[in-house]
Amino acid sequence: MKHTIKIYNSFEEQKEDEARQLAALSSNELMIALRKLINFSFGLSGFDINNLPKKHTIKISEYQTQ
């Protein structure tokens, strides 16, 4: 992966360029980027982007106060 540095003349120019880049992505690419952000934010390193679970279950247990 090649990394480059872009220099902008203003914050507006930077925002326009970022918006252009996001608009060029497919919905699948956006979902992958979102999943990577979620994994990074919550420290989930064990998830494989290409092999996500097909079913999710939620177990609701009764909460009891003491």
Averaged in consecutive runs of 10 residues, what is the pLDDT profile of the chain (66 residues)?
89 96 92 84 73 69 71
Contact 39, 47 (CB under 8 A): yes
The pLDDT of residue 8 is 95
* pTM assigned to the model: 0.51
Which residue bears the tokens 């992505």? Answer: 25
The pLDDT of residue 17 is 95
The pLDDT of residue 58 is 67
The pLDDT of residue 56 is 66
Alpha carbon separation from 18 to 5, 7, 15, 65 (Å, rounded) = 13, 13, 5, 50
